[in-house]
Structure 1
Amino acid sequence: MTALITGSMAYDTIMVFHDYFKNHILPDQVHILNVSFLVSDLRREFGGCAGNIAYNLKLLGKEPLPMATVGEDFGPYREHLARLGIELRYLKEIEGTYTAQAYITTDLADNQITAFHPGAMNYAHLNRVPENVDIRLGVVAPDGREGMLCHAEQFHRAGIPFIFDPGQGTPMFDGAELIRFIELATWVIVNDYEAKLIEEKTRLSPELISERVDAVVVTQGAAGSLVYVDRRPLKILPAKPKRVVDPTGCGDAYRAGVIFGLLEGYDWETIGAIASLMGAIKVENAGTQNHRFTMEEFRQRFWDNFGYHF
């Protein structure tokens, strides 16, 4: 039994500008802004929430099922996933579209200018959550707006418990829609900013949401995370990275750790610790799908960080 992960598949084109945007943007002239930045560093990475979560869950020895809509340019990404042995049956190619793409330019102060093209992601609703399939749990991660709404309802109708993980898609929904997601979900995972945004729209704090679901997880970056069960918060300490290289994708790695722990039936203290270690390993590497480890190495690092074996 495994997890069906609905969400985006994307290419991330990342460029580094070896200067500061502030040196080239005149604040009093932004109404006629016309700038060009020479970027000497460029890399193209495989990304998207469904792809990243599936990648990390595969590292943990599970068999994830990513479900997403992709474009005609998906070939290299498809080959990458196939080499990893990740099941591709729920990826739907949309004719005449590009796979979702993010173009990110970062300056030396880690400021970012990003252009995002959703492409095939806009057709996420054309994929349907399968019924009568051996799926233990589901994930509704950032995707096309209509797709996220449909997939939550479909998981519920199929009797499949699921994680609601709105991520950067949170602003797309109003208060009533967010409450509906919460009513349907079994677990909710957000970062601290998203938690505040949801509370502003719904008047539901993480404590109050935890009365409606089995657990609410609120990540806090380098400060660790909180797990709320029946309004009671459990503090999860962060694992220690060997170095900090790139935080992009840490949230998706953390979520894979949560899914792994739920599939294994662990308690929330252990689930949170596994998830924290996944985030720490990811931050040590550039890109969202370039880190590697064996389960033996992972278990040793877990012992080193938390002092017990899972």
Structure 2
Amino acid sequence: MTALISGSVAYDTIMVFRDRFKNHVLPEQVHILNVAFLVDQLRREYGGCAGNIAYNLMLLGQRGLPLSTVGKDFGTYAQWMKDWGVPMDYVKRFDDHYCAQAYITTDLDDNQITAFHPGAMNLAHEVKVPTNEGAKIGIVAPNGRDGMVQHAQQFADAGIPFIFDPGQGLPMFNGEELLDFVEKATYMAVNDYESRMVQDRTGLSMDDLAKKLDALIVTRGAEGSDIYANGETIHVDAVTPEDVLDPTGCGDAYRAGLLYGLLNDLDWRTTGQIASLMGSLKVARAGTQNHHFTLEQFRKWYKKAWGSDF
């Protein structure tokens, strides 16, 4: 079974500053800010929502097709995807652009300064939603603005149910545009903060939004997640990770769990529990695609966490 994943494919360059930004930024001089931070740790990770979701879905034994645009520096990422069996059928390369990239500097208080270059991601609309893959489910995750709008319409026109996952792309859309996504989508997945933003911009409550969807999923970090479906709210506890090293990409791992449940016609509680465990496994590893396991291992961990199989 196949899932279509509209979203970004990006590089994340992560740097650690062994001090605190507040010790080097003078509040009364921010209008002439000129600072440099010496970082003794740097790593470059493969990321982007579509890349992360497809990778996690692959670990669960399912086929996820990224609908993404990349640039001339895609080479090493392409080899990574090939090595792990992540399909690149609908990843389109533009040699006059760079891949999307985030440059993130984190200090000892976990404050972050991020510079994001969208690059080829802004051309995501150049990739069309395929109708010949027999896709059972899709997802519209953060991507180029026009790509998100057009892919949602194309999913709806093709009759392919999809999850609307606005994520970091949420600020690009006003209330009317968000409502249009909700009207087209079958499901929506947001974190707690994003759910408040959607409510504020649309003027609709959680109950109002849930009535327009088959399911509304809200993740709440260590407090677990809530799934509003069939007129009821299903709370799913968070799975305690073996360590907390890096939350980046945790939401994408969770969404891969949602897609797995939908692909396999599982009930919402089981689907939420799979998603919760996926997030826990990710947060225990640095980077968004550095956790590895077999489906057999995952089933054992699931049984340990929840006392049953799926």
> For 1:77 and 1:270, how far apart are their aligned partners in 2?
33
Residue 191 of structure 1 deviates from its aligned partner by 0.4
Match of 1:276 in 2: 276
Report if aligned partners of 2:2, 2:133 keep a CA contact under 8 Å in 1: no
Code of the residue aligned with 2:133 in structure 1: it is V
Match of 1:118 in 2: 118
Code of the residue aligned with 1:217 in structure 2: it is I
Match of 1:246 in 2: 246
Residue 246 of structure 1 aligns to a residue whose secondary structure is: coil
How many residue pairs match? The answer is: 310
Residue 300 of structure 1 deviates from its aligned partner by 1.2
Residue 95 of structure 1 deviates from its aligned partner by 2.7
Residue 135 of structure 1 aligns to a residue whose secondary structure is: coil
Match of 1:166 in 2: 166
The yes-or-no answer on 1:157 pairing with 2:154 is no
Report if aligned partners of 1:187, 1:213 keep a CA contact under 8 Å in 2: yes
Residue 231 of structure 1 deviates from its aligned partner by 4.2
Report if aligned partners of 1:208, 1:231 keep a CA contact under 8 Å in 2: no
Residue 297 of structure 1 aligns to a residue whose secondary structure is: helix
Report if aligned partners of 1:281, 1:291 keep a CA contact under 8 Å in 2: yes
Match of 1:24 in 2: 24
Equivalent runs, 1:1-310 vs 2, <5 Å: 1-310=1-310
Report if aligned partners of 1:207, 1:232 keep a CA contact under 8 Å in 2: no
The percentage of counterpart residues that share the same residue type is 59
> For 2:232 and 2:175, how far apart are their aligned partners in 1?
24
**In the TM superposition, what whole-angstrom CA distance separates every residue of 1:89-127 from its partner, at most 9, and x where no partner exists?**
100011310000000000011100000000001111111
Does 106-115 or 297-306 show the bigger shift?
297-306
Residue 134 of structure 1 aligns to a residue whose secondary structure is: coil
Residue 64 of structure 1 aligns to a residue whose secondary structure is: strand
> For 1:191 and 1:128, how far apart are their aligned partners in 2?
28
Residue 206 of structure 1 deviates from its aligned partner by 2.3
Residue 132 of structure 1 deviates from its aligned partner by 3.1
Report if aligned partners of 1:161, 1:186 keep a CA contact under 8 Å in 2: yes
Residue 171 of structure 1 aligns to a residue whose secondary structure is: helix
Code of the residue aligned with 2:16 in structure 1: it is V
Report if aligned partners of 2:47, 2:289 keep a CA contact under 8 Å in 1: yes
> For 1:230 and 1:157, how far apart are their aligned partners in 2?
25
> For 2:233 and 2:208, how far apart are their aligned partners in 1?
11
Code of the residue aligned with 1:96 in structure 2: it is D
The TM-score with structure 2 as length reference comes to 0.99
> For 1:283 and 1:205, how far apart are their aligned partners in 2?
30
Code of the residue aligned with 2:117 in structure 1: it is H
Does 292-301 or 65-74 show the bigger shift?
292-301
> For 1:124 and 1:304, how far apart are their aligned partners in 2?
40
Residue 136 of structure 2 aligns to a residue whose secondary structure is: strand
The TM-score with structure 1 as length reference comes to 0.99
> For 1:298 and 1:183, how far apart are their aligned partners in 2?
35
Residue 133 of structure 1 deviates from its aligned partner by 2.5
Report if aligned partners of 1:239, 1:277 keep a CA contact under 8 Å in 2: yes
Report if aligned partners of 1:14, 1:104 keep a CA contact under 8 Å in 2: yes
**In the TM superposition, what whole-angstrom CA distance separates every residue of 1:55-88 from its partner, at most 9, and x where no partner exists?**
0000000111111000011000000000011111
> For 1:201 and 1:61, how far apart are their aligned partners in 2?
38
> For 1:273 and 1:230, how far apart are their aligned partners in 2?
18
Does 223-232 or 150-159 show the bigger shift?
223-232
Report if aligned partners of 1:100, 1:116 keep a CA contact under 8 Å in 2: yes
Code of the residue aligned with 1:47 in structure 2: it is G
Code of the residue aligned with 1:256 in structure 2: it is A
